[in-house]
Amino acid sequence: MSVLVQPLITEKLTRLQEEHQQYAFEVSRNATKPQIRKAVEEKYPEVKVAKVNTIIVPSKPKGRFTKSGFVSGRSKVWKKAIITLKEGEIDFFSEI
């Protein structure tokens, strides 16, 4: 099982990348901060991680109207890691 699930790219996170050298990843729920640091430094050898902050994003109610009526459910619970770099930078778009 991989520690890093996928990078997160939004307008707010793009601003954090430009201004503060911070990058965000969706990570596995049971990953620890040292494991996340090691995984980022192995995947991107040109960067050094200064700090790792983690957030467990709670489930939210979701619903939609369909032909058969209202369908309700919940989104999944997931973990987000915000990585602050000492040096170097990550280019997510070159990986695609």
Give CA–CA dist 25/6, Å, rounded: 6
Give CA–CA dist 22/3, Å, rounded: 18
- Residue 63's pLDDT is 94
The pTM score is 0.84
Per CATH, the homologous superfamily of domain 4-61+69-91 is RRM (RNA recognition motif) domain (3.30.70.330)
Give the strand order in the sheet containing 78-87.
4-8, 22-27, 78-87, 48-57
CA angle 52/8/27 to nearest 5° reads 50
Grouped pLDDT means (10 residues each) for the chain, 96 residues: 90 92 95 95 91 96 94 96 87 66
Q: How far is CA 47 from CA 12, 59, 76, in A?
A: 22, 32, 31
